[in-house]
A and B are shown apart, each in its own frame.
Chain A
Amino acid sequence: MRTYFLKRVLHAIPLLFVLSVVLFLVVRSAPGGPLAQAERNPNITAEQRQQLRARLGLDQPLYKQYLDWLGAVVQGDLGRSIKSNRPVAEMIGERIPNTLLLVGVAFVLTIAIAIPLGAISALRQYSWFDYLVTTLSFAGQSMPVYWLGLVAILIFYVWLDNPFTGGPLLPAGGMYTLGAPRTLADLIWHMILPVGVLCATWVAWYSRFFRASMLETLNADYVRTATAKGLPRGRVIYGHAGRNAVIPLVTMIALDLPSVFAGALFVETIFSWPGMGRLFWEAARGRDYPVLMAIIMINAVLIVLANLIADMLYARLDPRVRYE
């Protein structure tokens, strides 16, 4: 197992290298450039723009720009943002905790809610509860998250008032109340709407998925065997059906995990949450190449890692899977 793990890690290195070349080319082949904003600024002359290009090294041949970037990255230097001239690592470092908090909490809550929902729904197939869950999950899947976010703001911020203070029931966005001391309670208060909106759509997906997975195992022969040999119902459900139903879920979770770092662009935008999704979006719009490359590569690493973790977990969950 350990050799297998090491082998996989070693394989990942050339993979990431090739990926970096491809991604660099993709990022650079997007039309436009980081100086488009300068073009719109009446106070910046053409000459100044040319100087800016030269200072940023954008007049160099592409392969040289790539090698410069690669050389810095392998030494742990992600470079400086074209837009703000701040170290990219610092900019990402500011955003990652915010995104982990928002998406992480939403993710954990989603799993905590979706698995029981899916399981109960499967165990009581065709009951009113099952119909309710499947209907709601259909609705949740169909609603675009930005629409849901705006409706949430309309209801909980614009329409509903807090009976004690007269202010809005829930804040429209941000992480803390502006101008007030930053407390944990205030933070949680600001997380309710964005986490709620994220959970609403994710729970819909996950519960449906787990329901299907659970139904499949409940009808499997080994479950019938387990029931037939007189095992208590609880053991059958948790030990046999549940455990096997979780396996496909692990893949899904593992593949979704990188998004915990990548952030949730729509929710971050609507709720003014300073996370990674927005940083990436802003970098993409402004063609801030160093920031873009850093975020994309971090995500590439995370996806490779998440796949590895999923494979490792398989071995734990499914005794038939063995890696040598």
Chain B
Amino acid sequence: MNQTGAPFIAHRRALALLTLTVLLATLLLAACGAPSSEPQTSGETAGPSQIIVIIPEEPASLNQYHAVAAIVRQVADAVSAPLAVPDENGEFIPVLAAELPTVENGGVSPDYLTVTWKLRPGLRWSDGEPLTSDDIKFTWEAVSHPESGNVLALGFEKIASIETPDELTAVITYKELNQAYLQQFMYGILPRHATGAPAEMLQWAWNRNPVSAGPYVVTQWNSGESIVMERNPYYYLEGQPYIDRVIFTIVPDPGAQIAMMAKGEAHVHLWPGEVKEIYDAQVAGQAALQEVPGQWNMTLFFNLSRPFDGDPGPEPPHPILGDLRVRQAIAHAIDYDLIVTAVNPGTFPTATPFAYGWYKCDQERKYPYDPERARALLEEAGWVEGPDGIRVAQGAPYAEDGTRLRVQLNGYTNFQPLVKLEEALVEMFRVVGIEATIQNDDFSIIFGSYEDGAPRQLGNFDILVYDTSLPIEPQAAIENTYLSTAIPTAENPAGNNASRWVNPRADELIRAAGATVDLEARRAAYCELSELIATELPRLNLYLFTEGYGASNRLSGYKVNMWGSLTWDIQNWKLE
């Protein structure tokens, strides 16, 4: 080292200087001469048609069975091969299936335990291999494998066997009732020949480069940057998709996203997070926000049990919110019209968790805006006005005399509409003598697990404020949210009955709905439950957010579907 040191260092120094000079020179050159090297940004060239889709984050995988994050499906539907999907009205339509199995066409046995799926003839995977009923069978084998890493509750464990009498027919025999049989393969079937062992599903190369039966195939995945897809030559619809190439580009910053839409460089903008008037003005006539009422239902969750008592169970009652009259007063204190018109404009009022889908209930508000009534109820409940206008307990059933009528609103951070709503609620509550404070935490805290000490799971909160949703097949979610056995405790840490609501009639209704496939009977049960919720107020539903995306004016043929992802109908998109 000593002998070679000096020349070595001299050499390195020269090299570094050279590199620096070259770098500077190229930068300067680029600054002056780059116009010639800048390729076309619009899709108007004679070459292949191309659209650019802005996504704010990168999907971890395109295997929907591993999809914990919502972004996965938004991208993966472009390469996915479902048998049937819900359309924009929430009704299932066949995709790779020739028709929907029903009792009428013999596809479903009268006891609903045997379902026969028929594939369209001549289907092929994107590598040219035939797509057969054996792939349906393989999907069941793979997803139901304990090591598969599947996170979706689709009832695959209820399947006893799948017979494949011919290449187009799969006969599924269920061990028990699966109310969601149409949903069984809506996240796509998996090719046996191009994936791998079910036990290694988490590590399949297929997850990021799937052999597809959807409209597109992945041709490039530049981590953190973009996912490039080209049309699948073997797609079953003749002449579709219409657009040759789709590029999903990961642009995390909202300002940069808007700039790209306003410049007309990008054509689709997922999750713009802006109300329509503002968005449409920002993108300067190049695009517009396309939206429909969505699944996300803004809700106040009242804690009916005492917080911070070390007991996550329903007893003893919450000193303030344990009294139904106080919850009624809160409901009467809220100016619902003001909220959907001024506080969170562009939202759709609703008074029920069952606000959409085949199970939609027409629920009226039991306790409409009426501050006078709210005050009277609070007086009656033993909360009298204190010197500063905020009420204090005097003979309230669960609170010691002198307790201040103060509740905390818990929401999550980084979501402006939520903050605006909370601020409005604080004002509205004060009018009737209730003091409210706001405590918003990171998403991962609010939605953390029991073991992580999440206040929602431990019951350490007054009122949670956030948006929640129901899937198209809601029974499992309803059971885990409203059954008295679903209160989160150490024994049942994943329970979702955060309000600690115990109602024997609700339990009865939920169990009855779970025992039948008759949709009308189920809907009737859910709507009676809706009535109970609106009356007893374990929670108070406020409004639905709209769902949708920004779309370039040059794009057509798309339909916004609250049940589907952005790309559910990408095969129909056209670029002018």
Q: Which of B209-266 contact A (CB under 8 A)?
A: 222-226, 228, 245, 247, 249-253, 255-256, 259-260, 262-263, 265
User: Closest CB of chain B to A82's CB: distance in Å?
Assistant: 9
Given A165-B38, A179-B247, the answer on whether A38 and B151 have CB atoms closer than 8 Å is yes
B388 beta carbon closer than 8 Å to chain A: no
Q: Which residue of A lies closest to B250 (CB)?
A: A272
Chain A residue contacts of B70, Cβ below 8 A: 40-41
A38 to B443, CA, bound (A): 11
Given A105-B23, A168-B265, the answer on whether A157 and B444 have CB atoms closer than 8 Å is no
Q: Is the CB of A32 within 8 A of B249?
A: no
Per a CB cutoff under 8 Å, which of A34, A39, A48, A109 touches B153?
A48
Per a CB cutoff under 8 Å, which of B20, B245, B255 touches A270?
B255
Q: Which residue of B lies closest to A93 (CB)?
A: B223
A167 to B52, CA, bound (A): 16
Q: Is the CB of A43 within 8 A of B31?
A: no
Q: Is the CB of A285 within 8 A of B495?
A: no
Q: Is the CB of B448 within 8 A of A50?
A: no
A296 to B37, CA, bound (A): 39
User: Closest CB of chain A to B417's CB: distance in Å?
Assistant: 16
Q: Which of B441-487 contact A (CB under 8 A)?
A: 441-449, 451-454, 469-471, 476-477, 480, 486
Stretch from B60-68, B128-136, B268-276 forming part of the interface with A: B60-68
Stretch from A114-122, A128-136, A182-190, A297-305 forming part of the interface with B: A182-190
Per a CB cutoff under 8 Å, which of B50, B247, B295 touches A42?
B295
Given A35-B449, A48-B153, the answer on whether A172 and B469 have CB atoms closer than 8 Å is no
Proximity bits, A261-276, B CB within 8 Å = 1, else 0: 0000000011110110
A95 beta carbon closer than 8 Å to chain B: yes
User: Closest CB of chain A to B531's CB: distance in Å?
Assistant: 22
Per a CB cutoff under 8 Å, which of B68, B259, B447 touches A172?
B259
User: Closest CB of chain B to A230's CB: distance in Å?
Assistant: 29
Q: Is the CB of B226 within 8 A of A95?
A: no
A108 to B247, CA, bound (A): 33
Q: Is the CB of A158 within 8 A of B447?
A: no
B556 beta carbon closer than 8 Å to chain A: no
A49 to B496, CA, bound (A): 12
Given A32-B452, A157-B263, the answer on whether A85 and B202 have CB atoms closer than 8 Å is yes
Proximity bits, A190-222, B CB within 8 Å = 1, else 0: 011001000000000000000000000000000
Q: Which of A130-152 contact B (CB under 8 A)?
A: 150
A45 beta carbon closer than 8 Å to chain B: yes
Proximity bits, A157-180, B CB within 8 Å = 1, else 0: 110001111011000111111111
Q: Is the CB of B203 within 8 A of A282?
A: no
B24 beta carbon closer than 8 Å to chain A: yes
Q: Is the CB of B60 within 8 A of A158?
A: no
Stretch from A17-25, A53-61, A67-75, A233-241 forming part of the interface with B: A53-61
Residue total for B at the interface (Cβ-Cβ under 8 A): 80
A259 to B368, CA, bound (A): 56
Q: Is the CB of B223 within 8 A of A58?
A: no
A179 to B575, CA, bound (A): 16
Q: Is the CB of B225 within 8 A of A192?
A: no
Indicate the size class of the contact surface on chain A: 35 or more
- Max chain A C-beta neighbours (<10 A), residue from B34, B40, B42, B444: B444
Q: Is the CB of A272 within 8 A of B37?
A: no
Q: Is the CB of B445 within 8 A of A32?
A: yes
Q: Is the CB of A175 within 8 A of B38?
A: no
Chain A residue contacts of B69, Cβ below 8 A: 37, 41, 83
Q: Is the CB of A178 within 8 A of B247?
A: yes
Q: Is the CB of A53 within 8 A of B454?
A: no
User: Closest CB of chain A to B157's CB: distance in Å?
Assistant: 10
Q: Is the CB of B260 within 8 A of A172?
A: yes
Q: Is the CB of A178 within 8 A of B252?
A: no
Q: Is the CB of A192 within 8 A of B442?
A: no
Q: Is the CB of B153 within 8 A of A275?
A: no
A16 beta carbon closer than 8 Å to chain B: no
Per a CB cutoff under 8 Å, which of B38, B442, B446 touches A177?
B38
Q: Is the CB of A179 within 8 A of B228?
A: yes
Given A39-B447, A53-B449, the answer on whether A271 and B256 have CB atoms closer than 8 Å is yes
Chain A residue contacts of B346, Cβ below 8 A: none
Chain B residue contacts of A282, Cβ below 8 A: 57-58
Q: Is the CB of B452 within 8 A of A33?
A: yes
A13 beta carbon closer than 8 Å to chain B: no
Q: Is the CB of A42 within 8 A of B265?
A: no
Proximity bits, A64-103, B CB within 8 Å = 1, else 0: 0000000000000000010111100001001100100000
B30 beta carbon closer than 8 Å to chain A: yes
Per a CB cutoff under 8 Å, which of A42, A153, A167, A183 touches B259?
A153
A315 beta carbon closer than 8 Å to chain B: no
B27 beta carbon closer than 8 Å to chain A: yes
B36 beta carbon closer than 8 Å to chain A: yes
Chain A residue contacts of B61, Cβ below 8 A: 84-85
Given A43-B471, A46-B496, the answer on whether A81 and B60 have CB atoms closer than 8 Å is yes
Q: Is the CB of A189 within 8 A of B30?
A: yes
Chain B residue contacts of A9, Cβ below 8 A: none
A15 beta carbon closer than 8 Å to chain B: no
Q: Is the CB of B20 within 8 A of A112?
A: yes
Q: Is the CB of B41 within 8 A of A168?
A: yes
Given A42-B295, A192-B31, the answer on whether A91 and B249 have CB atoms closer than 8 Å is no
Q: Is the CB of B444 within 8 A of A31?
A: yes
A324 beta carbon closer than 8 Å to chain B: no
Q: Is the CB of A32 within 8 A of B443?
A: yes
Per a CB cutoff under 8 Å, which of A50, A108, A195 touches B494?
A50
A185 to B37, CA, bound (A): 7
Chain B residue contacts of A177, Cβ below 8 A: 38-39, 41
A231 beta carbon closer than 8 Å to chain B: no
Q: Which residue of A lies closest to B43 (CB)?
A: A179
B35 beta carbon closer than 8 Å to chain A: yes
Q: Is the CB of B223 within 8 A of A274?
A: yes
Chain B residue contacts of A32, Cβ below 8 A: 442-445, 447-448, 452, 454
A44 to B24, CA, bound (A): 53
Q: Is the CB of A85 within 8 A of B66?
A: yes
Q: Is the CB of B256 within 8 A of A36?
A: no
Q: Is the CB of B39 within 8 A of A186?
A: yes
Given A37-B69, A44-B151, A172-B265, the answer on whether A58 and B451 have CB atoms closer than 8 Å is yes
Q: Is the CB of B250 within 8 A of A274?
A: yes
Q: Is the CB of A44 within 8 A of B223?
A: no
A120 to B316, CA, bound (A): 75
Q: Is the CB of A38 within 8 A of B256?
A: no
Chain B residue contacts of A192, Cβ below 8 A: 27, 30-31
A180 to B249, CA, bound (A): 13
Extra A-B contacts (12), CB below 8 Å, given A31-B454, A191-B27, A272-B250: A31-B444, A31-B448, A36-B448, A46-B495, A86-B60, A150-B255, A165-B38, A173-B256, A178-B226, A179-B228, A282-B58, A285-B443
Q: List 25 A-B contacts (CB under 8 A).
A: A31-B453, A32-B442, A33-B452, A34-B444, A36-B443, A36-B445, A41-B151, A42-B471, A43-B153, A45-B494, A46-B480, A53-B451, A83-B69, A85-B60, A85-B61, A85-B66, A91-B223, A153-B256, A162-B38, A174-B249, A179-B50, A192-B27, A195-B27, A274-B225, A287-B444
The 7 closest A-B CB pairs, nearest first, are: A274-B224, A32-B444, A46-B494, A84-B60, A180-B39, A39-B447, A36-B444
